């Protein structure tokens, strides 16, 4: 699956966002190694700190379906003028399951997208030793 198709699925997921407080919809599409795509959207709460980001929603959804091997993720923010990469918390959670070369594609409202590696989003992993200990690569 190419990145534009994955970004399109992310944008569709953003339509399901529950974001009445920020009015900032986010959709994520996680490509699994088995070829399936698991989407997620942000789900806000009036107790703001309980908000779930689109990317972490997609990761939790995938794990709960027994999928933990991923090939790429796309993030779409149709309410943003500029492409928006995953937030810090989502970078940390994604990095639990993917390698440093894992591709992250993201875009805002327009068609222009950016593509970066997990390594570039989360350099100097403070807990790399704990991940290495699991031997998951
Ligand atoms: N948000 C995400 O869903 N993913 C990100 O990586 C950045 C932030 C959501 C959280 C909140 O609902 C809204 O965007 C504004 O921060």
Assess whether pLDDT exceeds 90 at residue 4. Answer: yes
Q: Whole-angstrom Cα distance, residue 5 to residue 1?
A: 7
Q: Which atom number of ligand 1 is nearest to the Cα of residue 90?
A: 6
Contacts of 13 by beta carbon, 8 Å cutoff, 6+ apart = 27, 28, 29, 39, 40, 41, 54, 58, 76
Angle at 74 between CA 107 and CA 76, to 5 degrees: 40
Q: Indicate the pLDDT class of residue 135, thresholds 50, 70 and 90.
A: confident
Packing angle, helices 3-14 and 54-64, rounded to 10: 100
pTM of the model: 0.96
Task: Measure CA of the first residue to CA of the last residue in the chain; give whole Å.
Answer: 23
- Tens digits of residue pLDDT in 95-109: 999 999 999 999 999
Strand, helix or coil for residue 8: helix
44 given a catalytic annotation: no
The Å distance, Cα 88 to ligand 1 centre, comes to: 10
**CB atoms inside a 10 Å sphere around CB 43:** 16
Assess whether pLDDT exceeds 70 at residue 40. Answer: yes
5, 11, 44, 55: the catalytic one is 55
- Tens digits of residue pLDDT in 10-37: 999 999 999 999 999 999 999 999 999 9
């Amino acid at each position: 699956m190419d990145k534009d198709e994955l970004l399109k699925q992310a944008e569709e997921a953003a339509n399901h966002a529950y974001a009445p407080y920020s009015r900032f919809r986010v959709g994520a599409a996680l490509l699994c190694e088995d070829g399936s795509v698991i989407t997620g959207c942000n789900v806000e709460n009036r107790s703001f700190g309980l908000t779930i980001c689109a990317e972490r929603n997609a990761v939790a959804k995938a794990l709960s379906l027994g999928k933990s091997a991923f090939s790429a993720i796309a993030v779409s923010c149709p309410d943003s003028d500029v492409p928006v990469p995953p937030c810090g918390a989502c970078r940390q959670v994604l990095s639990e399951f993917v390698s440093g070369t894992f591709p992250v594609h993201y875009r805002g409202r327009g068609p222009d997208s950016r593509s970066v590696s997990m390594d570039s989003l989360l350099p100097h992993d403070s807990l790399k030793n704990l991940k290495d200990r699991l031997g998951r690569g």
